[in-house]
């Protein structure tokens, strides 16, 4: 899989935007404790993803094999976390409508 620095910059921008969206969600509505904890965990996960993406972007000494593994792990984690966020938001919309 080929990935450029520009693509990594785009990924990092998406992760930052998503993180900002989670923060906004967390502070614009009142949630029960379980929901607040879930949002907190999502925020922590997205911060971790940002760090992973920055590491991949700045990794100059890693082998191609290691970089491919890191990119695959990053992609898988992003898909999973974005799926969790979409499910959360969908359920939130359903319960507030």
Q: Where are the beta strands (DSSP E) in 1-86?
A: none
Residues of the domain holding 44:
5-96
Please identify every stretch of the chain with a pLDDT value under 50, giving residue numbers as ranges.
none
Here the tokens at position 69 are: 């593994």
Task: Give the three-state DSSP class for 79.
Answer: helix
Q: Return the CATH number at 42.
A: 1.20.5
In angstroms, what is the C-alpha Rg of the chain?
15
What per-residue confidence (pLDDT) applies to 51? Answer: 94
pLDDT given at position 43: 93
SS3 of 29, please? coil
Q: Check residue 1 and give its pLDDT.
A: 59
Number of domains in the chain: 1
Q: What is the pLDDT of residue 41?
A: 92
Query: What confidence score (pLDDT) does residue 30 get?
Result: 86
pLDDT digits (tens, 9 = 90+) for 35-60: 888 899 999 999 999 999 999 888 87
- Measure CA of the first residue to CA of the last residue in the chain; give whole Å: 42
């Amino acid at each position: 899989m080929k990935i450029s620095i520009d693509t990594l910059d785009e990924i990092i921008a998406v992760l930052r935007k998503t993180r900002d969206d989670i923060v906004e969600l967390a502070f614009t509505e009142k949630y029960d404790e379980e929901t607040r904890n879930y949002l907190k965990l999502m925020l922590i996960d997205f911060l971790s993803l940002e760090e992973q993406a920055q590491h991949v972007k700045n990794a100059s000494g890693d082998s191609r094999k290691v970089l491919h593994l890191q990119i695959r792990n990053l992609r898988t984690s992003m898909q999973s976390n974005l799926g969790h966020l979409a499910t959360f938001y969908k359920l939130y919309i359903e319960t507030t409508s």
